[in-house]
Structure 1
Amino acid sequence: MEFKWQGVMPALTTKFKGDDTLDLEYFEKNIAAQLQAGVSGLILGGTLGEASTLTNDEKITLIKTATTCAEGKVPVIMNIAEQSTKGAVTAARTAKQSGASGLMLLPPMRYKATSRETVAYFKAVAAATDLPILIYNNPVDYGIEVTLDMFEELLKSCPNIGAVKESTRDISNVTRIKNRFGDRLKILTGVDTLALESLLMGADGWVAGLVCAFPVETVAIYALARAGKVAEAVELYRWFLPLLELDINPQLVQNIKLAEVATGLGSEAVRPPRLPLEGAERKRVLGIIERGLRERPEVPPYKDLLD
């Protein structure tokens, strides 16, 4: 398997049963749908994966299960979101020992590190592993921006840092990164509602959320855009946008799990303190999902367009 930071890489939800244990049956079913649609990798334990609520043993189980399901066809990437450098280094080593073939790395959690501290943190983790690393740059939600100058320093000394999950919400940042680093730093858009725009500006891939419920449509948009079939990609994206907006919401986990229920790819069980949606907000979200399913378009052939 050749590792490439490109294509659609779903940020998978973690499936739970009613008794708050892992639901590996639904987890495996969802992965099968992702692979059938043509995703390029599987990302575990991110925000959508309810990472902060998972035990170390559960993370290991998810990695091993996903690796078995992937059968070497696509890389399995584990998210690292820790409070200390020591904890992040340990998590990175554990991920590799468990079978992960790549890492997505967030800045330190809780403590708002300075630029110097953030760079030192990333360097320490990168030096502790030979796994390929995707830096998750999301200052909107996590309060720390990884600037171009910080990336410049990281790329000089960390050859295994190869990509950024670009979630600044600034679409022009795709061009800035391309102008500064060319192909040395691959770009995976991390905001569902800016996905097509980012791909058309040169992003190499898409770390997607609604793909958990709609894998075929997500991969098709990527493939059509990359192949220059822009009109077809735009038409599909316009249908998809109301659903994609469910990802840019504090309750994105609950929203996307409801969408997974609607498409038969999951349950709405979440781990407390999260609770399933109720009342007017639940009705609103279900209305968006039901309309999306009712108006779901036929997807143009796309698999032959994939790299």
Structure 2
Amino acid sequence: MKLEGIIAYPITPFKAETQEVDFDALTITLNALLEHQCDAIAPLGSAGESAYLSWQEWQQVAQKSIEVVNHRVPVILGISELTTSMAIQKAQKAEELGADVIMVIPVSYWKLTDQEVYEYYQQIAAATKLPIMVYNNPATSGLDMSPELIVKMFEGIENICMVKDSTGDIQRMHKFHELTQGKLPFYNGCNPLALEAFCAGASGWCTVAPNLLGKLPNLLYQAIKDGDLAQAQNLFYKQLPLLRFIVQGGLPKTVKAGLNELGFNVGAPRKPLQNASLAETNQLMGFIRQATQI
């Protein structure tokens, strides 16, 4: 499977009073992302507060997301687990529910060796037929996988067929291209790197931005596809202040604050995460207004 374009990350809405998952709000936000011309939907990532959900909630959010998207675009389910056995359980559940791809990131308490990482992916891959996107994000996982290790897994483990890198290091993307003669599709997970990543040949941009910026990320991708670099730069620089702000402020907190202001009623992040302050929310809405005045 070759994914291209804007891979959108939904948040997981919670009810204000009970902090239970709000499936009606989830449906509304997923449909809004599809209206913003996203090319794939990736529930249960960092922005989806996957780390703060119970196993039952993870399954319910996965199932509801797949049902709502209903084959309109591919669904990529996020898996971030300390143990191989739990990652396998989620991978098998993803396949059973009808996901198209799983995005897997090993979460590290003890620092893992390259061999331990390799076997983590190898054992998950052996347990499912689903394509696997390797996800490298040391800021959230505590583990940094080298391009050489990722390429070794791409070449040695059949289901591994793409990589999302969120380090913000453009040299990583050049390395993926060089080490595989362009055969390994790579995806940018660092929002402020969107323009450079596309110029370096990224197949897609994995982003929460469409939640707040509507079709703007897609317009950037279309400009790149059309070879209109001047238009791509123009669109990128409109979005950049917001992209920087949501990364620095933390995705669940900032994206939920923006969605609530835009009328989506998605609740607060799960504790210990806190709501955005009034000052942060005002700043965020200023960036949204600035970006969407085209």
User: Where on the TM-score scale, by shorter chain, does this alignment land: which range?
Assistant: over 0.9
Spell out the pairing of 1:148-167 with structure 2 (5 A cutoff): 148-167=147-166
Unaligned runs of at least 5 residues, structure 1: 299-307
8 Å contact kept, 1:246–1:256: no
2:291 and 2:219 map into 1 onto residues whose CA distance is 17
8 Å contact kept, 1:7–1:39: yes
The 3 A distance-change label for structure 1 pair 48 and 238 is same
1:166 and 1:15 map into 2 onto residues whose CA distance is 26
Residue aligning to 1:76: 75
Residue aligning to 1:302: none
Aligned length: 293
Q: Does 1:10 align with 2:30?
A: no
SS in 2 for 1:163: strand
Spell out the pairing of 1:1-40 with structure 2 (5 A cutoff): 3-18=1-16, 19-40=18-39
Q: Does 1:63 align with 2:59?
A: no
Unaligned runs of at least 5 residues, structure 2: none
Residue aligning to 2:284: 288
8 Å contact kept, 1:5–1:204: yes
SS in 2 for 1:112: coil
Deviation at 1:290? Answer: 2.5
Deviation at 1:87? Answer: 1.2
Deviation at 1:230? Answer: 1.4
SS in 2 for 1:5: coil
Deviation at 1:52? Answer: 1.2
The 3 A distance-change label for structure 1 pair 23 and 224 is same
Q: Which amino acid aligns with 2:289?
A: L
8 Å contact kept, 1:39–1:219: yes
The 3 A distance-change label for structure 1 pair 206 and 291 is closer
Deviation at 1:288? Answer: 3.4
SS in 2 for 1:249: helix
Residue aligning to 1:111: 110
Residue aligning to 1:208: 207
What whole-Å deviation, never above 9, does each CA across 1:156-183 have from its counterpart, x for those lacking one?
A: 3212111111112211221111111134
Deviation at 1:203? Answer: 0.5
The 3 A distance-change label for structure 1 pair 145 and 41 is same
2:191 and 2:287 map into 1 onto residues whose CA distance is 19
8 Å contact kept, 2:108–2:143: no
Deviation at 1:196? Answer: 1.2
What whole-Å deviation, never above 9, does each CA across 1:232-265 have from its counterpart, x for those lacking one?
A: 1211211111110123225321111112123334
Residue aligning to 2:139: 140
How much is the aligned-residue C-alpha RMSD, in angstroms? 1.7
